[in-house]
Every structure is written in structure tokens, then in C-alpha cells.
């Protein structure tokens, strides 16, 4: 019973209870964030669609270059929009002074999310109907993990994960007055669907909702970044083994 209460407390502090913070911004700063966010999300969607829609998996150099450009688009847009905050977790006596940075909780949450996706992957492979209709979408993406240098692919995965959170849970989140979690999740999903891959869109919905709640609770980008990286790096090595028969 005590462990259940501890888990509930951890989940509430990570995803729901908002740590006090004072992140005021002027109307001018807010409008700047809005303009930058709209422009960058459109450019990023185009680059992502080109990367996974027009570059063959065997063309590793172009793929790495395009994904590096995409990471640059998200990161430059994030920092151009205005100040970004790392965030804290808990309920300190004074906002943003004594509460710790979120590190362990988002790592565990990312690992748990990865576990759910891995279980879902095995379920897809075990059910013929799902295997026939969903596996081709997954394999299309995973083919990129089978080509080129594994270390470079890992670096690209990490850089893009960080850049996406800098923009979507940093700049864009701060450019929205209300319903930030829902709107940033939708924007992240729409940008991802530029690839035409419905499975990437589904993953974007789930991941976007989780990291959006983390952003809301902690007031910063650190927790979303850690969760995103934990999940994405696990997927990078786990899914090819399940759907392609061998690790990267």
C-alpha cells in the first residue's frame, strides 16, 4: 500500500501538481513567441516530411544532413522565441528556489513509456491483422536505423529529441495562453504527420501528451527532454530487433 501511495505521489508531482513559478512575459515577448512558433513549426514540418518522405534509407549522408537541419530548425526557433526555463519539481516554500530539478522522475517515466511501446510492438507482431496493417508503417521508419553508422544515428536521435522539446515544450508552449498541453500535442502530431506515417503520428500523440503534462507540472523543458530521450533511445534499439529481426 505504501508503494502504491508513493507511485501515486510521484506521478502527481511529475504530471499534474504544478510547481510554483514566476515566468511572466510582456505582451511584446508573447507576440514574438507566437510569430516565431508559427513560422518554425511550418518549416520544421516541411523538413521532416522531406527527410522521411523523399530520402531513401540507403542514402545515409543525406539523411543525417537533413535530420541535423531539422534539429537546427527546432533549436534556433526555440532560442529565437525568448528565454527558456529548465523547471523544477515539488512544492517549495519559495517558487523556483528550493525545489530540485526533475531528473530521476522523468527518466523513470520515459523508461515506463518505452516499456509500454515495446509491449505494444510485441502485441502488433502477435496479432495477424495488426501485423499486416501496422508493421509496414513501422518498418518504413526503422529502415533508416539499419543503414549507416550506428553512433551517428544515436547522436542524431539525441540531438533531435532535445531540439524538439526545446521548441514544442519550450518556445511553443510559452506562446500559448490556454490549453497549452493539448495545443502543443496537436502541433507536434501535425508536424510529425507531414511524413505521411500514421504510426509516427500515434507515437507523437502519446509522447506529446506525456511531456506536455511534464512541462505544465514542472514549468520547464528539462523533464520533457529527459523523458523524450529515454523513450527515443530505447525505441532506437528495441524496435528494430522486434520488427526487423536484428538490432541496429
217-245 confidence digits (pLDDT tens): 999 999 999 999 999 999 999 998 898 86
pTM for this prediction: 0.90
Number of structural domains found in the chain: 1
Total Cβ atoms within 10 A of residue 221: 27
DSSP 92-128: -SSTTTSSPP--HHHHHHHHHHHHHHHHHHHHHHHSH
The answer to whether residue 12 sits within a structural domain is no
The answer to whether residue 195 sits within a structural domain is yes
158-200 confidence digits (pLDDT tens): 999 999 999 999 999 999 989 999 999 999 998 888 777 888 8
Residues 6+ apart with CB under 8 A from 125: 131, 135, 242, 243
80-113 confidence digits (pLDDT tens): 999 999 998 876 655 555 678 899 999 999 999 9
- Closest residue by Cα to residue 75 from 192, 164, 183: 164
The answer to whether residue 91 sits within a structural domain is no
The answer to whether residue 183 sits within a structural domain is yes
The answer to whether residue 11 sits within a structural domain is no
Q: Any idea how long the chain is?
A: 248
Domain residue limits at 152: 27-83+103-243
Residue 247 pLDDT > 50: no
Q: What is the mean pLDDT of the chain?
A: 87
Amino acid at each position: 500500500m505504501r508503494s502504491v501511495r508513493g507511485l501515486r505521489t510521484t506521478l502527481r508531482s511529475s504530471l499534474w501538481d504544478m510547481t510554483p513559478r514566476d515566468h511572466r512575459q510582456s505582451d511584446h515577448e508573447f507576440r514574438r513567441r507566437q510569430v516565431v512558433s508559427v513560422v518554425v513549426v511550418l518549416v520544421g514540418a516541411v523538413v521532416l516530411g522531406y527527410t522521411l518522405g523523399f530520402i531513401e534509407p540507403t542514402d545515409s549522408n543525406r539523411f543525417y544532413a537533413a535530420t541535423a537541419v531539422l534539429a537546427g530548425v527546432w533549436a534556433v526557433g526555440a532560442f529565437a522565441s525568448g528565454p527558456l526555463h529548465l523547471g523544477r519539481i515539488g512544492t517549495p516554500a519559495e517558487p523556483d528556489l528550493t525545489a530540485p530539478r526533475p531528473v530521476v522522475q522523468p527518466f523513470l517515466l520515459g523508461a515506463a513509456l518505452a516499456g509500454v511501446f515495446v509491449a505494444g510492438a510485441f502485441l502488433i507482431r502477435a496479432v495477424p491483422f495488426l501485423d499486416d496493417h501496422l508493421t509496414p508503417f513501422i518498418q518504413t521508419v526503422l529502415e533508416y536505423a539499419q543503414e549507416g553508422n550506428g553512433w551517428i544515428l544515436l547522436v542524431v536521435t539525441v540531438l533531435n529529441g532535445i531540439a524538439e522539446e526545446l521548441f514544442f515544450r519550450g518556445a511553443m508552449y510559452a506562446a500559448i495562453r490556454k490549453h497549452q498541453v493539448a495545443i502543443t500535442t496537436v502541433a507536434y502530431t501535425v508536424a510529425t504527420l507531414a511524413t505521411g506515417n500514421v504510426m509516427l503520428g500515434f507515437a507523437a500523440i502519446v509522447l506529446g501528451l506525456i511531456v506536455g503534462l511534464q512541462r505544465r507540472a514542472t514549468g520547464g523543458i528539462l523533464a520533457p527532454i529527459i523523458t523524450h530521450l529515454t523513450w527515443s533511445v530505447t525505441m532506437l534499439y528495441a524496435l528494430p530487433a522486434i520488427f526487423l529481426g536484428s538490432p541496429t
